[in-house]
Amino acid sequence: MSALSVAAQDYLAIRRALGVQLIAHGRLVEDYVAHLDSRGGGPVTVQNAVDWANAAPSNSRRQAAVRMSVARGFARYLAGSDTATQIPPARMLPMPTTRSTPVVFSEAQIAELLACATRLSPPLRAASFHTLIGLMAATGLRTAEARSLDRDDIDLSAGTLVVRCSKFGKSRQIPLHPSTTTALAAYLRRRARLCPRPVSDALLITPSGDRMHTLSQTFKPLLREAGITVPAGRRAPRLHDLRHTFAVATLRDWHRAGLDVQRRLPALSAYLGHVNPAHTYWYLQAVPELMAVLADRLDDTAQEQR
- The region, left, alpha or beta by phi > 0 then psi within -120 to 50, assigned to residue 98 is beta
* H helices present in the chain, as ranges: 3-17, 23-37, 46-53, 61-79, 107-117, 123-139, 143-148, 178-194, 215-226, 241-256, 261-272, 278-286, 288-305
Which member of 25, 125, 240, 244 is catalytic?
Answer: 240
Phi, psi of 211, rounded to the nearest 5 degrees: -65, 145
Question: Structural domain boundaries of the chain?
Answer: 3-79, 107-226, 241-305
- Is 167 designated active site? yes
Which member of 15, 67, 130, 142 is catalytic?
Answer: 142
The pLDDT score that the predictor gives to residue 305 is 41
Residue-averaged pLDDT of the chain: 86
Phi, psi of 301, rounded to the nearest 5 degrees: -65, -40
Q: Check whether 30 has a pLDDT greater than 60.
A: yes
User: Higher model confidence: residue 121 or residue 230?
Assistant: 121
The pLDDT score that the predictor gives to residue 137 is 97
Q: What is the pLDDT of residues 137-179, one digit of tens each?
A: 999 999 999 999 999 999 999 999 999 866 666 789 999 999 9
CB–CB of 236/230 below 8 Å? yes
Q: What is the pLDDT of residues 85-118, one digit of tens each?
A: 999 988 888 776 666 677 889 999 999 999 999 9
Taking the model in full, what pTM does it have? 0.68
**Beta bridge pairs of residue 150:** 202
From 1.10.443.10, 3.30.2320.50, 3.40.50.10190, 1.10.10.10, which CATH number describes the 107-226 domain?
A: 1.10.443.10
- Is 187 designated active site? no
Long-range pairs of 257-261 with CB within 8 A, sequence gap ≥ 24:
258/297
- The region, left, alpha or beta by phi > 0 then psi within -120 to 50, assigned to residue 18 is alpha
- Is 243 designated active site? yes
Q: Check whether 190 has a pLDDT greater than 80.
A: yes
Which member of 61, 62, 164, 167 is catalytic?
Answer: 167
Which member of 67, 72, 130, 243 is catalytic?
Answer: 243
Q: Report the C-alpha gap between 77 and 85 in whole angstroms.
A: 9
